[in-house]
Structure 1
Amino acid sequence: MVCQEEVLISKVCELYSEIASLESLKPCKNVDTLFTELVLTCIPPSPIDVTKLSKNLQEIRSNLIRLCGIAEGHLEHHYSAILGSYDNPLHHLHIFPYYKNYLKLALLEFTILSQHCGPQLPNKIAFVGSGPLPLTSIVLASNHLPSTTFHNYDIDSSANSSAMRLVSGDPDLSKRMAFHTNDILDVTSCLEEFDVVYLAALVGMDKEEKNRMIDHLSKYMAPGAVLMLRSAHGARAFLYPVVEPCDLRGFEVLSVFHPTDEVINSLVIARKYPLSVVDQQQGLASMILPNKCSDEIQAFNHPLNHGNIIIEELTLDDQL
């Protein structure tokens, strides 16, 4: 076990050194080859716990996640520009090399959402960190949520401009998709309008940043609204930040899902606690119920479950 972890860490560090030495992370043969090798190295299930790495390895991991974020941004801008050159960009989404992964991910997220939210589909969804190629919003809106409106938030105006070009010619999605150039930390009361808020994996690239985002959403989302987050597990945590259930202050953690196939991100679904008046007669202030949850492994019956997805269900303790 230790030997396998040492081999994994050695390979990741080797690839990090090569990636960090690149002059540019824009798509090209060398960049594509290195990141493909990195992903293939990190995809296999691994018992590694990145929180127990040495300080030096923690720093390498943090830097690597940021490099992955930069490269992913360049890749999405690159393909968004190509797609935007077509008369009907949405008819050519398959040219994006990871499009099939997004189809799987969106189906999985929709199935999870349906399980926890019942037959009532969300009216309004916010996606934080939608980027220049908002495939999650596009796939969910096109394939699973035909009447839902999507509000896509990104801090980069050029990303929003590129994304808007992809849907502006579509008579349906152009009416159901809005794009906002904002730092989500500056968005306050508007967050109450959304039934579901998605937080992209690379919004908040370290624990402190991520927790700041989560705390902000906890403060301004409507009680009972659902928060969908993307996390990482095992060696995949070298690629994306990890969100732990204990980070979700003010939320009831409903489920955590760890795929073991080519879908890299783990999925976390949580619901904002309702405000509970402790003692109305004494005039005590409302309080957020504490986030107490327990781990249990439970099979989840959905179309992608062919024995290759480990599912951890986190349920609220019976007694709060």
Structure 2
Amino acid sequence: MSSAATLPAPSSLPPPARAVATPTAAPTSTPTTAITASILRIYAVFQRSPSLGPSPSVNAAFSELVSLCIRPYDSATAAAILEDRRVRAIANALRAKCSEGEFLLEAWWANRILAEEGRGEEAWTSLRAFPYYQNYMDLSRLELSALAAVHPAPIGSLAFIGSGPLPLTSICLSTLLSPPPRRIHNIDMSPQAISVSRSLCARLGGAAARLSFECADAKEVALEEFDVVVLAGLVGGSANEKREILRSVVRRCGNGALLMLRSAHGVRRLLYQEVELAELQALGLDVLLVVHPWNEVVNSVVVCRVRERGRL
């Protein structure tokens, strides 16, 4: 879930660029050695940065890291990168840096749109300029396709846990779902994130204005009424934390509800915590579908069904 970091005020910083520079390896370096060195160098940039909010150096570092992690590596190369002792030593801390940076980027952008004071289509135009807007649309389409494969019926209600200050997934779903669900509910533990995202959606109007919001801990929120519950990739910074959150969420879902989890595969696991599929059965879930993208969509999609309580 999003951290409770202080939301940055809009500034004159330019929008984060999506273009990345491909690092050049020394002639004697193997591809794996060059990639590992780049990951360690980027992590050092994060450590030296006084803030992981948008800035030219931080933007360039995050863009390069994402570009490195989403390359279509073969299994041997991916394993060599992830099992490097230096990479293993920083993996959890690197994911934490990514979580903080993503939160600050989204907060900065949401505050920028609010500061512009545009409404309706003008606000939508500003939102579509967000550098990863298309990535969110592509991920939302992928997730809806996965849901349709196991649940070929309209979605009546959906809860998104870990919506953050810029609830792009819910905004995308509000425009893509047809017929529109009676409720798309956003949950985050940060009061600031909820306040900013509620104001932003009111400014956007249309389908976004119908989204609802709640400031709550994922382990305590009531979820029985929802047909589909989505757990954001940043919810649970470690494997143990994600497992405990999942355990609580499953207990609070209704029998037969669909739980959609964002996971990661291959080197993308340096960006987001992987969901351990083998543990889901013991938590009361039946895994129905797993999708691993190989394009610019970073997250894997895991669709599960909550078993009836008598079968747990």
Q: Same fold (TM over 0.5)?
A: yes
Structure 1 partner of 2:106: 76
Please give the alpha-carbon distance, in whole angstroms, between the structure 2 residues aligned to 1:103 and 1:59: 33
* Number of positions where the alignment pairs a residue of Structure 1 with one of Structure 2: 273
Helix, strand or coil for the counterpart of 2:296?
A: coil
Please give the alpha-carbon distance, in whole angstroms, between the structure 2 residues aligned to 1:195 and 1:173: 20
Q: Name the amino acid aligned to 2:100.
A: I
Give yes or no for contact 1:196–1:227 (8 Å, CA) kept in 2. Answer: yes
Structure 2 partner of 1:293: none
**Deviation string for 1:73-104 (max 9, x for gaps)?**
11000111122232222343211001111111
Structure 2 partner of 1:115: 149
Aligned sequence identity (%) = 35
Structure 2 partner of 1:240: 272
Q: Name the amino acid aligned to 1:45.
A: P
Residues 11-90 of structure 1: matches in 2 within 5 Å?
Answer: 11-46=38-73, 47=75, 48-49=78-79, 53=83, 57-84=87-114, 85=116, 86-88=118-120, 89-90=123-124
CA drift at 1:147: 2.4
Give yes or no for contact 1:255–1:269 (8 Å, CA) kept in 2. Answer: yes
1:130 to 163, 166, 190: 163
Residues 83-162 of structure 1: matches in 2 within 5 Å?
Answer: 83-84=113-114, 85=116, 86-88=118-120, 89-118=123-152, 120-148=153-181, 149-162=183-196
Please give the alpha-carbon distance, in whole angstroms, between the structure 1 residues aligned to 2:300 and 2:91: 18
Structure 2 partner of 1:177: 211
CA drift at 1:41: 1.2
Segment of structure 1 superposing worse, 83-92 or 229-238: 83-92
Unaligned runs of 5+ residues in structure 2 are 1-28
Please give the alpha-carbon distance, in whole angstroms, between the structure 2 residues aligned to 1:166 and 1:4: 44
User: Structure 2 vs 1, CA of residues 125 and 259 (structure 1 numbering), >3 Å: closer, same or farther?
Assistant: same
Structure with bigger RCO (C-alpha 8 Å, 6+ apart): 2
CA drift at 1:43: 1.2
Structure 2 partner of 1:164: 198
CA drift at 1:50: 8.3
Please give the alpha-carbon distance, in whole angstroms, between the structure 2 residues aligned to 1:99 and 1:217: 28
Give the TM-score taking structure 2 as reference length. Answer: 0.82
**Deviation string for 1:213-240 (max 9, x for gaps)?**
1111121211111111111111111111
Give yes or no for contact 1:90–1:166 (8 Å, CA) kept in 2. Answer: no
Give yes or no for contact 1:193–1:222 (8 Å, CA) kept in 2. Answer: yes
Give the TM-score taking structure 1 as reference length. Answer: 0.80
User: Structure 2 vs 1, CA of residues 51 and 42 (structure 1 numbering), >3 Å: closer, same or farther?
Assistant: closer
Q: Name the amino acid aligned to 1:73.
A: F
CA drift at 1:54: 5.8
User: Structure 2 vs 1, CA of residues 173 and 252 (structure 1 numbering), >3 Å: closer, same or farther?
Assistant: same
Structure 1 partner of 2:257: 225
Structure 1 partner of 2:11: none
